[in-house]
Homo-oligomer: A and B are copies of this chain.
């Protein structure tokens, strides 16, 4: 089966499946729409953590051990910055800084985020389209037991310790979808929309909060398939499970699926979890969703595409 695939993607976990999809598909059959809600400005630098995670994963530059940032990283900048009393709660690797400095400089020259991203991808040999959800600023904020916090303040500085109550995506209501991202969602040959195994609250929902993106997904005939970020009641990485608990949700793939009700047609849970109670309009699929190796990424990509193609078959029959 051919046709265009659009993946919605947050940081590290989502980037792994995005990488799998790049291995499974020709470059012109895939567009990756990336969350920019956790972008922020730090020390005057524009930092886009999810875009960086995706770019590093696709360029083969991710650190395989630390789980974030660049491989072969050094930390001389941070040591020097600490030595001069600078802000050190957000760790900036020396190689990672090249991304932030180059991006910030190009943005300051008037380039759009999508243009900078396209340039960096081209330089790093990434053939697939990596698209920020919007060229307009959207900023995720978290209502916590300590009040409203900017996302990185909550996520990095306070290490997700405050109890979360609510999220907002400042600017999303008026943000325009990045035009190529919107065009990809509106393609007539759209094969599938994939929601990567990213944090639903702070990675996927900021993308869905951009009205044109949500509307385009709603209008699309293509199957929408999400992949669970929860395995065996735990998040593979990050605060998704802690957030679900604090929001009074079950910590399960099924609860994530319910969160996406009305948006998705299919949901891939981990093969080690039991198939949940059926949900109206959501078909469950089982697959090995833990991605430790490159092979795992490719295998999951194929499983997700197979789920989507199956749904299309079901829909064609119905």
Residue numbers of A with Cβ under 8 A of B are 43-45, 70, 72-74, 76-81, 83-86, 93-99, 101-102, 104-105, 108, 119-120, 123-124
Contact = CB atoms under 8 A, between A and B. Distances in A.
A95 B77 CA distance: 4
B77 A94 contact: yes
Contact of A80 (B79, B95, B105): B95
Nearest to A86: B102
A120 B170 CA distance: 35
A56 to B, nearest CB: 11
A74 B101 contact: no
Given A79-B95, A83-B98, 11 more contacts: A43-B102, A44-B105, A44-B108, A76-B76, A77-B95, A78-B98, A80-B97, A80-B98, A84-B99, A86-B98, A97-B97
A84 B105 contact: no
B97 A77 contact: yes
B76 A93 contact: yes
Given A43-B102, A104-B44, A76 B72 contact: yes
B105 A43 contact: yes
Nearest to A79: B95
Nearest to A121: B84
Given A44-B101, A44-B105, A123 B77 contact: no
Nearest to A97: B77
A1 B74 CA distance: 49
Given A74-B76, A77-B94, A93-B76, A84 B123 contact: yes
